[in-house]
Amino acid sequence: MQTNTAPPRARPARTVLVLGLGAAALAGAVLLSLVAGSRPTSPVEVWQVLFGEADPYTTTVVESRVPRTLLGIVAGAALALAGTLMQGVTRNPLADPGLLGVNAGAAAAVVTATALLGPASTTATVWWSLPGALLAGLAAYTVGTRGGDGGMVRLVLAGAVVSAVLHAYVQAVTLSMPEVFDSYRYWVVGSLAGRGYDVILSVLPVIGLGVLLALLVMGPLNALALGEEAAVATGANVLWARSGGLVAGTLLAAGATAAAGPIAFVGLAVPHVVRGLVGVDFRHQVPFALLVGPTLLLLSDVLGRTLVRPMELMVGVVTAFVGAPVLLYAVRRMRASS
């Protein structure tokens, strides 16, 4: 009696239903993000601000939440999709968007610019961290693929080396320059607060390019999931699948990190939720990741705003508490299947 060892795939009707529920959950998270805060507002008041007339105070409160909500959607989608791509390309369920040193590169750039130029606005920080993140990812990819052998293991090791070197540099600078540390410690936790539309517009082209590349490599990544030899036998371009997936993941992670700081666990936890609900087909994983990521990030931000009202917890702290149980569950599943 033969046993079917192929990974389960979600049925189309179920996938459509799950995607619809995901869209509804994201809509609910957006509404909560606009309603909740140190000064709670009602959905009616939000509607009046957006589409009618409201008192000046309520208008100011709600309008301050709009760019925060939009950034949560953009950054959450980018981190979730980056994690999905990284785990798919490396075939490692514990891979995350910082795999190629993207977070460390952004941190090193922020620290360097602050040390040389002094603390600056959030928009200036984006323009500092974005090239640092991209250069770190490029350096890890160049070192990890030089020589053409070693596969994903060599690439992951290169990313770990780049991250270790840059983290050591960041620690050296921040410990020797207290004024740099004071500025850096707020950025490194990750937050959606205090960002305006200019921050979103700054990273949107990079994230948009990453999403476009992700859409283009969905098919080749499905073939790569069968194994390199099987992918080659089906005529898939393995080099394009890996390179395109890694470049897309790096662009997405760099854009999100530059805008909101290094927010942990979203890119690591969401792909496990996505695969559990829609299966292993990347044509289903990609759109669902674009829904689940923003939902998780916005709900985490709402929790951070309401748990210790009138103060608030940065969203990076909340996502760590929310994502840690998911990571433990993933590790237990891996141990059970091994």
What is the three-class DSSP state of 94? coil
Domains of the chain, by residue range, sit at: 25-38+66-337
Return the number of other C-beta atoms located less than 10 Å from residue 270's C-beta: 31
CATH class of 25-38+66-337: mainly alpha
Q: Could you list the pLDDT tens digit for every one of the 338 residues in the chain?
A: 444 444 445 567 778 888 899 999 999 999 999 998 878 788 888 888 888 787 888 888 888 899 999 999 999 999 999 999 999 988 888 788 888 899 999 999 999 999 998 877 778 888 889 999 999 988 988 888 776 555 677 888 888 999 999 999 999 999 999 888 888 888 888 899 888 899 999 999 999 999 999 999 998 898 888 777 777 787 778 888 888 999 999 999 999 999 999 998 899 889 988 988 888 899 999 999 999 999 999 999 999 998 888 888 899 999 988 877 776 776 676 666 55
Q: What are phi and psi of 279, to 5 degrees?
A: 90, -165
What's residue 331's pLDDT? Answer: 65
What's residue 214's pLDDT? Answer: 95
What's residue 337's pLDDT? Answer: 58
What's residue 24's pLDDT? Answer: 96
In the chain, what is the greatest distance between 2 CA atoms, to the nearest angstrom? Answer: 72
What's residue 6's pLDDT? Answer: 43
* Ramachandran quadrant class, 312 (left: phi over 0; alpha: psi -120 to 50; beta: rest): beta
Please state whether the peptide bond connecting residue 56 to the residue before it is cis, i.e. omega within 30 degrees of 0. no
Residues recorded for the chain = 338
Instruction: Give the residue carrying structure tokens 């009616």.
Output: 44
In order, the DSSP letters of 251-295 are HHHHHHHHHH----SHHHHHHHHHHHHHBS-HHHHHHHHHHHHHH
Predicted TM-score of the model (pTM)? 0.89
Instruction: Give the residue carrying structure tokens 């103060």.
Output: 311
Q: What are phi and psi of 9, to 5 degrees?
A: -115, 140
Instruction: Give the residue carrying structure tokens 């009707």.
Output: 13
Here the contacts of 197-200 (C-beta below 8 Å, separation 24 or greater) are 197/67, 197/70, 198/123, 199/67, 199/71, 199/122, 199/123, 199/126, 199/259, 200/67, 200/70, 200/71, 200/74, 200/259
User: 11: burial class by Cβ within 10 Å (0-12, 13-18, 19+)?
Assistant: exposed
What's residue 3's pLDDT? Answer: 41
